[in-house]
Amino acid sequence: MIEAADLVKEFSRPAVLPGRLPRLRGLFSTRREVTRAVNGVSFEVEPSELVGYLGPNGAGKSTTIKMLTGILQPTSGVCRVSGLEPAADRARNARNIGVVFGQRTQLWYDLPLRDSFEVLADLYGLDRSTYRRRVGLFTELLDLSEFLDTPVRSLSLGQRMRGDLVAAMLHEPSILFLDEPTVGLDVVAKARLTEFIVETNRTDGTTVVLTTHDMEDVERLCRRIIVIDAGTVLYDGDLTRLRERFMPYRFLVLTVAERSVRRGVEIPLATEVGTAAVGAVLPYPDRCVVLRFDPRKIATPELIARASQVYQVDELSIVDPRLTDVISQLYEGLPT
């Protein structure tokens, strides 16, 4: 469905010259500085996949998305989306894809939301019955009825994002590119949006490429992630396997009756760590014991049984390392 093969994008701009009045001198210089934003990225996305495209600031995520949507022409390499070359076949590509850039809107600020949808429906040549069916469906799923007639400039960020999603999906695209769709949204708005994305992917089989810094979104939505840094792919695969490779342990979090119930018994294959390692997970940190263990070396029930011999346990839970920490580890290239 989507194919990127050795994709490269360079940006070139006039060099900043040293010395006095650099900007003025730059006007008369032919020297240019080149930034290689995407540096040989290759991947494939199958129909109906929901893939997270992750990376730190400036990694080249948006630049990749812009090449796949036809906004930018690659410097070299090839990309194909539903068999089309996006930059060369922009109009046809636009019929197959929906795009949301969270930082920008494709709606018209002065028009009520409904009128923006009408304009887009005309642009896509949707017949009236399809248009009505789609807007009806989205109005219900995303709860738009209260603000359909409100000018876009007066919408809250969450309402505007919901409007942008509908705008991207009116023409029933088979592929959705979402570039930070939940940035700045509160938890309720975020949950509504992510549910909608999951539902669209599941029921319509829409292929989704999602760029985000929000690891909660990633955990909720994606089984597969592609991680890039400095324009190069660092990891492409299953989220579970990423955890296994970079942080192959889990935490057993215990609330104990008293901190002093140790009876000098060792718990092999588990290390006691501070709550900071898993975040403050319990309301009584002074009675909280956190054991780090490798589930490949000791089965969780066995560890729990052993821990119960050492501590008088009131409550327990198993916590995985935070995805943020796993990804940071990946950026640093330090498998444990």
* Contact residues for ligand ATP, defined by CB under 6 A: 11, 13, 35, 37, 55, 57-63
Instruction: Give the nearer residue to ligand ATP in terms of CB position, either 13 or 104.
Output: 13
Instruction: Provide, rounded to whole angstroms, the least separation between the CB of residue 194 and ligand ATP.
Output: 19
Q: Which amino acid is it at 45?
A: V
Instruction: Provide, rounded to whole angstroms, the least separation between the CB of residue 2 and ligand ATP.
Output: 17
Q: Is 298 exposed, middle or buried (0-12, 13-18, 19+ CB in 10 A)?
A: middle
Instruction: Give the nearer residue to ligand ATP in terms of CB position, either 11 or 124.
Output: 11
Pairing of the two strands 207-211 and 175-179: parallel
Token pair listed for 288? 């909280």
Instruction: Provide, rounded to whole angstroms, the least separation between the CB of residue 45 and ligand ATP.
Output: 18
- Secondary structure of residue 271 in the 3-state scheme: strand
Instruction: Give the nearer residue to ligand ATP in terms of CB position, either 37 or 222.
Output: 37
Query: How many CA atoms, within 13 angstroms, populate the side-chain half-sphere of residue 262?
Result: 9
Instruction: Give the nearer residue to ligand ATP in terms of CB position, either 61 or 134.
Output: 61
Instruction: Provide, rounded to whole angstroms, the least separation between the CB of residue 10 and ligand ATP.
Output: 9
Pairing of the two strands 2-14 and 76-81: antiparallel
Alpha carbon distance 3, 44 (integer Å): 5
Instruction: Give the nearer residue to ligand ATP in terms of CB position, either 63 or 82.
Output: 63
- Secondary structure of residue 319 in the 3-state scheme: strand
Instruction: Give the nearer residue to ligand ATP in terms of CB position, either 32 or 133.
Output: 32
Instruction: Provide, rounded to whole angstroms, the least separation between the CB of residue 63 and ligand ATP.
Output: 3
Instruction: Give the nearer residue to ligand ATP in terms of CB position, either 13 or 132.
Output: 13
Instruction: Provide, rounded to whole angstroms, the least separation between the CB of residue 53 and ligand ATP.
Output: 9
Q: How many CB atoms lie within 10 A of CB 215?
A: 16
Pairing of the two strands 50-54 and 207-211: parallel
Alpha carbon distance 92, 88 (integer Å): 9
Query: How many Å is the maximal CA-CA distance in the chain?
Result: 79
Token pair listed for 139? 């109005």
Token pair listed for 335? 């498998």
- Secondary structure of residue 239 in the 3-state scheme: helix
Instruction: Provide, rounded to whole angstroms, the least separation between the CB of residue 55 and ligand ATP.
Output: 5
